[in-house]
Amino acid sequence: MKSNKELVEHLIGRGVLKTPAIIKAFLNVDRIEFVRENYKDQAYGDYPLPIGFSQTISQPYTVAFMLELLQPQSNSIVLDVGCGSCYTTALLASIVKEGKVIATEIIKELVEFCKSNLKKYNFSNVEVYHADKIPEGYAEFDRILVSASASRLPNTLTNALKDGGVMVIPIQHSIFLIKKQNGSLYSEEFPGFAFVRLQ
């Protein structure tokens, strides 16, 4: 695939990309802007690519799969954990136009990479933090997206999920859809995925 449009058409063709607002975000946010210079020629391949520091920009299929589960709304307040290159951050920011995206990344050099990538777009609804915890001033989120694999479901994140909220998180080799309703958590497992480890 040689263009972002071809990549989006491929994801629609595979049946993973379905929601109009998410499709629009994938069309608006060009993956080539979030890969390292020496991988630009592979930017539209449907596979992960290294971004340094043993981290990757996730496979587009996986990103689409997770965002379709997450179903962010135009006014959602979203926590993006392990934002890496900020590809998912930009996609989320494109969807939640009246909301906000709070992105966190533990590796300082990737925070700088992330911020420089976001400057290519005119988002006014994104905050990026070099942090391994929820930034001060934020308590609850409508949506939480985690882009690295946890060993178990972190209480700090389930506690930060609003009632009626949705979290999508990899745990070991599965993606989990977590919903909070009336203070209780409900989960659905989708096995067969690989992620870098959540630190």
Q: Is 54 a catalytic residue?
A: no
Q: How many helices (H) and strands (E) does the chain have?
A: 6, 9
Q: Which two tokens stand for residue 190?
A: 């989708």
Residue 121 burial (C-beta neighbours within 10 Å; 0-12, 13-18, 19+):
middle
Given 3, 54, 58, 184, which residue is catalytic?
A: 58
Q: How far is CA 91 from the centre of its chain?
A: 8
Residue 69 burial (C-beta neighbours within 10 Å; 0-12, 13-18, 19+):
middle
Backbone angles phi, psi at 185, to 5 degrees: -105, 135
- The Cα angle at residue 128 between residues 119 and 173, in degrees rounded to 5: 110
Total length of the chain: 199
- Token look-up 């420089």 returns 116
| Contact call for residues 51 and 35 (beta carbons, < 8 A) | yes
- Annotated catalytic sites, by residue? 58
